[in-house]
Structure 1
Amino acid sequence: MPGGRRDVLGVRIAPALLRFGAALPGRRYRAALSVRNLRAGSCRLRLLPPRRPQFKLIVENPEKPVAPGLQVKAVVEYYPESEEDLEDRLLLLIEEDVVDIPLLGYGGQKFIFCRYCFQFNLVENLLTPVTYGYITKLSTVMKMNSKFLYNFFFPIAVHR
């Protein structure tokens, strides 16, 4: 799952965001999350759940401060009820500070609208993505004002 990692306030959040792509209604999707203490001393870490009922946080928050080098592990579940795109966030409490961890749920298949002609591996002008994601199929040459389907499998690289 894309998202990388993010170091902030002496902890490492991996992945930096949780993205659930091409999610179908009525199915359950899960993603792992870890928060590692990179500080020289112990610190209190606590994950708070998202607001939307479609996202569920499963975590055992420690009662005591987390020692240096140790981590808190969690799982986020996503249960889409329809093919809509949803956004939410987890709140990570680090001592007295608060950090957002974005949650993104994308429903179904998406389209990209191409305003200009381009050839595969050679973009002559800018694509306008309807939403973020990945291409499933792409013909060698696209015609003006055409749409093509993408479904979160292969990365899109758009260069100006």
Structure 2
Amino acid sequence: MFSLFSNKDKKKKQMARSHINALWEILLADGRTHANELKMLYERANYHKLTKKEVDAITINRNEISANKDDIPFIKPETVEERFHFIYDLTCMMMIDGDIDYREKEMCKDYALRLGFQRNFIDELIDSLTKNIGSVSNLNEMYRKLYPIIKKLKMANDNKSS
């Protein structure tokens, strides 16, 4: 049967859904929903070419973080750079309401582990992100600024199978 979408397109869509699901879980972690969190969620979805309907399918009727967890599996990005972008977005979501709740921070750390970052670098990475978000103009500048940490992460992960 002829398919309109290649396997690569399907994988990209699944990764996008996984990313938005993770952001949604961070959004819910503190028990409060802030307008800026929702705005960011839909902006990131738009970046990943997900429609509002697709995002709503991820988020609708999810009163608990784990309600639809099995419906959208976590997909680990393939490159260290993509993993950095993922944890960067999660950290931004944690901070966007102006209050870093410990549950959001712990969830970011859990995701960092799932992304393959070694435990001994996670606190340093999350702390560096929270200190530098807002002080740099874009993600690429943040990546360059934190490259020494990322390089350690990459070296650590290249020596360990994922």
TM-score where L is the length of structure 2: 0.27
Q: Which has the higher helix share?
A: 2
Q: Which has the higher strand share?
A: 1
Rg larger for: 1
TM-score where L is the length of structure 1: 0.27
